A and B are shown apart, each in its own frame.
Chain A
Amino acid sequence: MYAGLAYVRPEKLDEALEFLEEHGGETAVVAGGTDVMVDLRSGALQTGYLLDVSRLSELKGIAMQGEELWVGAGTTLSEIYSSETLALFAPALQKAAFTFGSKQVRNTATIAGNVVNASPSADTMPPLLIHEARVVLASSNGVRTVPVEAMSTGPYKSAIHPDEVITRFILKPAKSMLADFQKIARRKALAISRMNMAVMAEKDETGKIMFMRLALGSSTPTPRRMEDVEAFLLGKRPDRALLWEAGQVLAEKMVEITGRRPSTGYKEKAAQGLFMRMLYPLV
């Protein structure tokens, strides 16, 4: 099954990039392997080389750098789970780790792997979107930075170039009144999101919403920030009826983007319901 597959594990980022410069087209980068190994076994992934980036120290670490929050590409979900920095500056991202896979999966799965795999249900995507994350990509030609929403062009379609490695994510840190991530799944662990959502919101002294970020996953071809809903609520005083209405806007937007599918019947209601549940603390 894996005949002709070679495994490469560079010690330094430069070596990895050099290797990719030459063999990028016939190489799959592997970090935690929780997507790559599954796809190798099923045959969905055919490749000549596996380039293991899991030991590259250049991809590690979570830290505040001035006004920016840096999260290394190779950060595992377990590291996200227990990071005090994230608890302070990106609580929604941390919450995404709480319900992510199982402990075994979290111990090896990485944030970059989640983004590059480009599943519509990737759980780190909604939090990254509300933190307006930028992705730092390195190749032997240099470094480029793109917004996280540009990383994926459709379900399981990553915009990464074959000679590139993600080195880190740069997030806008936020300490807002409300910061949350929730997911709906068919069971309580080891389950792919049927729907996930991340939100940050802040009210001013008069009780009006003055800051809001909302992103929805598993419901559109790629996870999306929902600016229409943000705009709808901005400057308004939230009560139940208003939130319900905003949830309706969210559901309509989702259907507009995705079109009607067999799952829409559930999802348009669930989007409104989940939105209500998550925003309710603002009331």
Chain B
Amino acid sequence: MLRIGAVERLKGEPIFSADLKLDHPLTLNVLRSSRAHARIVKIDINGALNVKGVVKVFTASDVPGNNLTGIINKDRPLLVSDKVRFVGDSIAFVAAENEEAAEKGVHAINVVYEDLPAVFDPEEALKDSAPKIHEKGNLLFSRKVKKGNIDKAFENCQAVVEKTYQTSCLEHTYLEPDAGAGYVDGDGTIVIFASTQNPHYDHSEVVSILGVEDEKVRIIQAATGGGFGSKLDLNVQGFIGLALYHLKRPVRYVYTREEAFLATAKRHPLTMIMKTGADRNGKLLAMRARIICDTGAYASYGIAVASRSAVHATGPYEVENVDIEAHCVYTNKPFSGAMRGFGAPQMAFANESQMDLLAKELSMDPFEIRRVNIFRQGSETATGQKLTESIGILECLDAIQPYYKGAVKKWRTSEASPFKRKGVGIGAMWYGIGNTGMRNPSTARVEMDPAGAVTLYTGCADIGQGSTTVLAQIVAETLCLEADAIQLVVGDTKYTTNAGATSASRQTYISGNAVKEAAEKLRELLMTGAVDVLKVGKGSLMLDSGFVADSNDNAKRVSFSKLAARAYKKGLPFVCQGYFDPETVPLDPETGQGVPYSTYAFACHLAFVTVDTMTGEVRVEKVVAAHDVGKAIYPEGVIGQICGGVAMGVGFALMEEFMHGQTESMKDYFIPTCKDMPEVIPIIVESREPTGPFGAKGVGEPALIPTAPAILNALNDALGERIYSLPANLERVLEASIRSGCFGPKEAKNV
């Protein structure tokens, strides 16, 4: 089947926030801080009010409710009143009749700052002498995971590898810059269309900012052109809500690319000091990890990133003795938040490098060392969780091994042009589905109208990943219908109930289960109704494309519509609510012991790279990507995620780096083009998850995680020199080539 909405997208029909037709909408423009850390002495808006076309200028004093926002902890003001904490902080905004006036208005606002000392290095920020960015200090959160006795275990190790790894700050660079539009309804409801990954969170946040009743705000997810985690934060929604509250005129706000770069979340740069030890058989005995996550000026999802990076530090391997600490630290940089993988991609880079280094120390094959340690049934994770089901990592490793063997035998030694070296590398990963050791339920509603038509109501935002298709398939499968027969109401807080965030690869697993429960309840109602009509026991009834039939006598059947009509007449409408919350046990604050997730996705990638030893240019030729997704409900969607994940992984590995104060837009921030893309060979492994809908887990973030580690290990394979900081750009690769002795006249192989 075709993905739901694919044809409409191809024809350009979906309505993005910027496309919404509104009656003379006002446009907004935000005044952003030009200082990294400064007290605000005065905001003079009079100049702006005199600009023709400016309708109102908003400052913190216009916020009727809570000015502080944030999904985990509320530390980010919608509009700053006391001090700014990064270049890009929002101070005031202008509502105007047109963009030109809005822009002029912003330039006419005069802010008097009193500069404060700023801190940009997270390690500096942790010192007592560092300027305090927030009242409570610069340490936002620490996650510790401790088990066994590492000191004793390190003594018994044959090989110990200790290295420091660094990753860069990234901008998500989704296709559609943040946008929203809205109006005030006839009954006074504030209606906001937004490009968002979490309409129900937006709803609670706008309600909190405005201090109004829940019913007074309605958020509708407009067509959304990607998010990758950045559209989990409030971007334009709060400004639009505030403007609607005061002005009661339609409003639209679309970020420029520059604004999206300046003012929205980034990926946390991580410093990872890793010490890993193994015995002479390669069995991992101990790991010590010290992780610093630079969250910038505000927390956003920082706590989740720190927590997840600590929990995932070991990679998909058993390590009996661990001492892991992740610290999340405020600095005066743009704030970091959620980005595809929440710290796991950074950790995988460090951890998979460690695995290859240990293999080298012990003269082992990189597959062998992974095989010795990899999670199996009954394995215990660093947090003390026993893994019992759906552990497809060995199958993933097995799936890529033939490609590795072939590459080592033939491809790697085959003729390359002079000055080129080839290498292959492995990256493995595990990824806990859903939030870390926290409740994160989803709900859904499935209704059948008196005519027998089925509608799914879900708050789950489809931002391009295809959740709507999967959820419709789940309803259809449960009710024995075709997926395109299911009517859909998606991401509209007036009609849908909370499905939580489209993040943490959780929607197929968690919302899938909620949807399935609702559909099963409806199925039950249909069966019960049919018993009444057909006078046949439930045990012998079955669903058959719109009918309930007697499995012994197929002629004995009653249509869904008849059953629905009867029920409605009796005053018992077919309206079914579903719910699912994965079982977790919160992590102990001191030891991190607990059950952070109820299931994990697994994957292995194999990367083939060619390195130019004279210039540092790298071509990723091929990525073989094996993913255990439990069950691929929509295989084309899984493959789409894998290919997109690889693309993002290539960017993370080789070129992406957001430099605060410098990087402005796509002109100086490079993401891969199709010419940079390797051939991708996706391999779907299905290790059924008993608690998943039809056995499914998730793949959204896992798709990206192993790519960069595989590429970095391949670079090392090609050059014999390792790179410890991302991105492995021209400069770093050429340096590695020089260190390895590959750079020079003699090294050229004859053609």
Residues of A within 8 A of B (CB): 1, 3, 38, 102, 184, 186-191, 194, 240-241, 243-244, 265-266, 269-270, 272-274, 276-277, 280
Asked if B676 and A270 sit within 8 Å, CB to CB, the answer is no
Asked if A189 and B676 sit within 8 Å, CB to CB, the answer is yes
> Once bound together, how far apart are the Cα atoms of A280 and B612, in whole Å?
14
Asked if B100 and A1 sit within 8 Å, CB to CB, the answer is yes
> Once bound together, how far apart are the Cα atoms of A65 and B658, in whole Å?
50
Min C-beta distance of B63 to chain A, whole Å: 30
Q: Choose, from B158-166, B534-542, B727-735, the stretch at the interface.
A: B727-735
Find chain B residues with CB under 8 A from A191 CB: 670
Find chain B residues with CB under 8 A from A272 CB: 614
Asked if A280 and B748 sit within 8 Å, CB to CB, the answer is yes
CB contact under 8 A between A244 and B744, given known A187-B673, A276-B614 = yes
From DSSP, what is the main secondary structure of chain A's interface residues? helix
Asked if B419 and A276 sit within 8 Å, CB to CB, the answer is yes
Asked if B730 and A184 sit within 8 Å, CB to CB, the answer is yes
Find chain B residues with CB under 8 A from A3 CB: 100
Min C-beta distance of B683 to chain A, whole Å: 26
Asked if A184 and B731 sit within 8 Å, CB to CB, the answer is no
Min C-beta distance of B534 to chain A, whole Å: 63
Find chain B residues with CB under 8 A from A244 CB: 744-745
Find chain B residues with CB under 8 A from A266 CB: 616, 730-731, 734
Asked if A194 and B730 sit within 8 Å, CB to CB, the answer is yes
A38's nearest neighbour on chain B, judged by CB, is B667
Asked if A184 and B615 sit within 8 Å, CB to CB, the answer is yes
Asked if B745 and A187 sit within 8 Å, CB to CB, the answer is no
Asked if A189 and B673 sit within 8 Å, CB to CB, the answer is yes
Cβ-closest 10 pairs across A and B: A273-B614, A244-B745, A188-B675, A240-B745, A189-B675, A266-B731, A189-B673, A186-B670, A188-B676, A277-B614
19 A-B pairs (CB sep. < 8 Å): A102-B673, A184-B730, A186-B655, A187-B655, A187-B670, A187-B672, A188-B675, A188-B676, A191-B670, A240-B746, A270-B734, A272-B614, A273-B419, A273-B615, A273-B734, A276-B748, A277-B418, A277-B615, A280-B419
Interface string of B98-120 (1 = CB under 8 A from A): 01100100000000000000000
Instruction: State whether the Cβ of B743 lies closer than 8 Å to any Cβ in chain A.
Output: yes
A272's nearest neighbour on chain B, judged by CB, is B614
Instruction: State whether the Cβ of B738 lies closer than 8 Å to any Cβ in chain A.
Output: yes
A273's nearest neighbour on chain B, judged by CB, is B614
Asked if A273 and B655 sit within 8 Å, CB to CB, the answer is no
Which of A184, A186, A189 is most buried by chain B, counting CB atoms within 10 A of its CB?
A186
Instruction: State whether the Cβ of B449 lies closer than 8 Å to any Cβ in chain A.
Output: no
Min C-beta distance of A78 to chain B, whole Å: 17
B738's nearest neighbour on chain A, judged by CB, is A269
> Once bound together, how far apart are the Cα atoms of A230 and B615, in whole Å?
21
Contact pick for B615, options A1, A241, A270, CB 8 Å: A270
CB contact under 8 A between A277 and B612, given known A186-B655, A266-B731 = yes
Find chain A residues with CB under 8 A from B615 CB: 184, 270, 273-274, 277
> Once bound together, how far apart are the Cα atoms of A244 and B655, in whole Å?
28
Find chain B residues with CB under 8 A from A265 CB: 731
How many A-B contacts if CB must be within 8 Å?
A: 73
Min C-beta distance of A209 to chain B, whole Å: 17
Instruction: State whether the Cβ of B75 lies closer than 8 Å to any Cβ in chain A.
Output: no
Min C-beta distance of A61 to chain B, whole Å: 30
Known: A189-B675, A273-B734. 18 other contacts (CB 8 A): A184-B615, A184-B730, A186-B670, A187-B655, A187-B673, A187-B675, A189-B674, A189-B676, A190-B673, A191-B670, A240-B746, A266-B730, A270-B614, A270-B734, A273-B743, A277-B612, A280-B419, A280-B748
Find chain B residues with CB under 8 A from A277 CB: 418-419, 612, 614-615
> Once bound together, how far apart are the Cα atoms of A197 and B512, in whole Å?
55
Find chain B residues with CB under 8 A from A184 CB: 615-617, 730
Min C-beta distance of A180 to chain B, whole Å: 13
Which of A189, A194, A269 is most buried by chain B, counting CB atoms within 10 A of its CB?
A269
> Once bound together, how far apart are the Cα atoms of A134 and B602, in whole Å?
61
> Once bound together, how far apart are the Cα atoms of A191 and B672, in whole Å?
10
Min C-beta distance of B656 to chain A, whole Å: 10
**Interface set, chain B 615-667, CB cutoff 8 A to A:** 615-617, 619, 655, 667
Find chain A residues with CB under 8 A from B672 CB: 187
> Once bound together, how far apart are the Cα atoms of A281 and B738, in whole Å?
22
Find chain A residues with CB under 8 A from B619 CB: 188
B657's nearest neighbour on chain A, judged by CB, is A186
> Once bound together, how far apart are the Cα atoms of A277 and B672, in whole Å?
25
CB contact under 8 A between A276 and B745, given known A186-B729, A189-B675, A194-B730 = yes
Asked if A269 and B743 sit within 8 Å, CB to CB, the answer is yes
Find chain A residues with CB under 8 A from B670 CB: 186-187, 191
> Once bound together, how far apart are the Cα atoms of A240 and B419, in whole Å?
12
**Interface set, chain B 654-713, CB cutoff 8 A to A:** 655, 667, 670, 672-676
Find chain A residues with CB under 8 A from B99 CB: 1
Min C-beta distance of B711 to chain A, whole Å: 14
**Interface set, chain B 375-396, CB cutoff 8 A to A:** none
Find chain B residues with CB under 8 A from A240 CB: 745-746, 748
Find chain A residues with CB under 8 A from B613 CB: 273
**Interface set, chain B 714-751, CB cutoff 8 A to A:** 729-731, 734, 738, 743-746, 748
Asked if B744 and A270 sit within 8 Å, CB to CB, the answer is no
> Once bound together, how far apart are the Cα atoms of A191 and B477, in whole Å?
47
Find chain A residues with CB under 8 A from B655 CB: 186-187
> Once bound together, how far apart are the Cα atoms of A270 and B615, in whole Å?
5
Min C-beta distance of B689 to chain A, whole Å: 38
> Once bound together, how far apart are the Cα atoms of A265 and B734, in whole Å?
10
Find chain B residues with CB under 8 A from A187 CB: 655, 670, 672-673, 675-676
**Interface set, chain B 599-621, CB cutoff 8 A to A:** 612-617, 619
Asked if A270 and B675 sit within 8 Å, CB to CB, the answer is no
A182's nearest neighbour on chain B, judged by CB, is B615
> Once bound together, how far apart are the Cα atoms of A103 and B670, in whole Å?
18
B616's nearest neighbour on chain A, judged by CB, is A270
Find chain B residues with CB under 8 A from A273 CB: 419, 612-615, 734, 743
Find chain B residues with CB under 8 A from A276 CB: 419, 614, 745, 748
